[in-house]
Amino acid sequence: GTVKKIAVLPGDGIGPEIMEEALKVLRKVEDLFGHSFQFTFGMAGGGAVDRVGNPLPEETLSLCKQSDAVLLAAVGGPKWDNNPPELRPEQALLGLRKSLNLYANLRPAVLFEGLENASTLKPEVVKGVDLLVVRELTGGIYFGEKKRERLEDGQQATDTLVYHEREVERIVRRAFEIARGRRKKLTSVDKANILESSRLWRSVVDRVARDYPDVQVEHVLVDNCAMQLIRRPADFDVIVTENMFGDILSDETAMLTGSIGLLPSASLGEGMTGLYEPVHGSAPDIAGQGVANPAAMILSAAMMLRHSFGYEEAATAVEQAVRKVLADGHRTADLAGPGTLAVGTEEFGDLVVEAMNAYEPDPKVPLE
Ligand code: NAD
Ligand code: IPM
Ligand code: MN
């Protein structure tokens, strides 16, 4: 078959540690399924600021554009927190998302077997959680005009939240399409009681909904949604929302599953190159200790296999292996508890590879 070119951006903090485990798993995919990957490493984030004074060097951006997919671990850390905006590691993410036009960010949250007690919520509340946040990723307050002014009586800062109906329509349509392939339930989250951009958002959802009469749609205000996610999380199927609401709510869904170290994501546009990264950040508090959970990174690689390459069976094999390792009781520190088998980052990756050895084409339910 063809060689798939993958741009590998390990980034900062725990990034390099978890990336190594994902690459291990992808090499196993090559062995088992006869696929072949060409990995090219690129600099991004704080490390790139330190080395070349640019969080997203031109070289990295062109590498990504020339690749079939981008795997990114995480960027950022306290070292760069007081840098000016253009020299912040996070700029690498925003630049990649915008340059590759990756407006659709898919963030699945599923309760895995054996993790019923891992959430801070009661097991009967999180039982059956299987939802997908579809987050708009290239618009809204992240990309609107910003300014800082010095007024007579002190400083003033502005961030602008802008959406064109075109931007809303493409993400909403995508969410409807996805909902159609799932339990056919779509929750659109906004703040239409206050924000004009939300009122536009809501009207677009209602218009597009006419093309999807088979999908049940509800509008929920973001504050209420934050509560309902804790109250009745298993009721949610697909949640579609704007950039910042999606950022916040997706971290909240992490706690339904037990750890943010379990949440993968896919960022997609209309083009060929998708970007795959965990929902979590660079976890500076545990970096360099070999204790980070690599599952989110490994599951992001599985999403890449599915969405960018169409390798459905390989994707399912990876997901099944991660489920197996967790169901067998192996836990990184973020999930460790009574009766579990504590493992480090590397050992978890090895266990996933080992579980893949035992893979038989008897696919369980895929993650999405
Ligand atoms: P974080 O997600 O990095 O960490 C939050 C908490 O979760 C920490 O206690 C951390 O130890 C834990 N955690 C996160 N991932 C884990 C994993 N895989 N295994 C075990 N525990 C894990 O969020 P933060 O502390 O708010 O941000 C740290 C830095 O990461 C900041 O600079 C932020 O801008 C950046 N960030 C980057 C990305 C990204 O690169 N995609 C995403 C979010 C935050
Ligand atoms: C995420 C992160 C990023 C975001 C930051 C680091 C720019 O929190 O991917 O969720 O807010 O989008
Ligand atoms: Mn986030």
Task: Say how many Å lie between the CA of residue 261 and the centre of ligand 2.
Answer: 15
pTM, two decimal places: 0.97
Best mutation site among 81, 86, 90, 245 for ligand 2 pocket (most ligand atoms within 8 Å of CB): 90
> Which is the closest atom of ligand 1 to the Cα of 77?
32
1-103+260-368 and 119-257 have identical folds: yes
Task: Say how many Å lie between the CA of residue 345 and the centre of ligand 2.
Answer: 23
Task: Kindly state if the Cβ of 90 falls inside 6 Å of ligand 2.
Answer: yes
> Which is the closest atom of ligand 1 to the Cα of 15?
40
Average pLDDT by stretches of 10, the chain with 368 residues: 94 98 98 97 98 98 98 98 97 98 98 96 98 98 97 98 98 98 98 98 98 98 98 98 98 98 97 94 98 99 98 97 97 90 96 92 58
- 207 is an annotated ligand-binding site residue: no
β partners of residue 72:
9
Task: Say how many Å lie between the CA of residue 12 and the centre of ligand 1.
Answer: 10
Sketch the domain layout of the chain as residue ranges.
Answer: 1-103+260-368, 119-257
Confidence check on the interface: ipTM exceeds 0.95, yes or no? yes
Best mutation site among 9, 91, 93 for ligand 2 pocket (most ligand atoms within 8 Å of CB): 93
DSSP conformational letter for 127 = T
- Closest protein CA for atom 38 of ligand 1: 281
Pick 1-103+260-368's CATH classification: 3.50.30.10, 3.30.70.120, 3.10.310.10, 3.40.718.10.
3.40.718.10
Task: Kindly state if the Cβ of 92 falls inside 6 Å of ligand 1.
Answer: no
- 83 is an annotated ligand-binding site residue: yes
- Closest protein CA for atom 12 of ligand 2: 247
| Rounded Cα–Cα distance for residues 284 and 288 (Å) | 9
Q: Is 108 exposed, middle or buried (0-12, 13-18, 19+ CB in 10 A)?
A: buried
Task: Kindly state if the Cβ of 10 falls inside 6 Å of ligand 1.
Answer: no
Closest ligand (CA of 78): 1
**Superfamily holding 119-257:** Isopropylmalate Dehydrogenase (3.40.718.10)
Task: Kindly state if the Cβ of 286 falls inside 6 Å of ligand 1.
Answer: yes
Closest ligand (CA of 138): 2
SS (H, E, C) 253-311: HHHHHCCHHHCCCEEECCCCCEEECCCCCCCHHHCCCCCCCCHHHHHHHHHHHHHCCCC
- Closest protein CA for atom 36 of ligand 1: 281
| Rounded Cα–Cα distance for residues 219 and 10 (Å) | 38
- Dihedrals phi, psi of 318, to nearest 5 degrees: -65, -45
Task: Kindly state if the Cβ of 296 falls inside 6 Å of ligand 1.
Answer: yes
pLDDT at 360: 74
- Closest protein CA for atom 42 of ligand 1: 281
Task: Kindly state if the Cβ of 275 falls inside 6 Å of ligand 2.
Answer: no
What are the catalytic residues? 142, 191, 223, 247, 251
- 16 is an annotated ligand-binding site residue: no
Contact predicate 167/139, CB 8 Å: yes
pLDDT at 365: 52
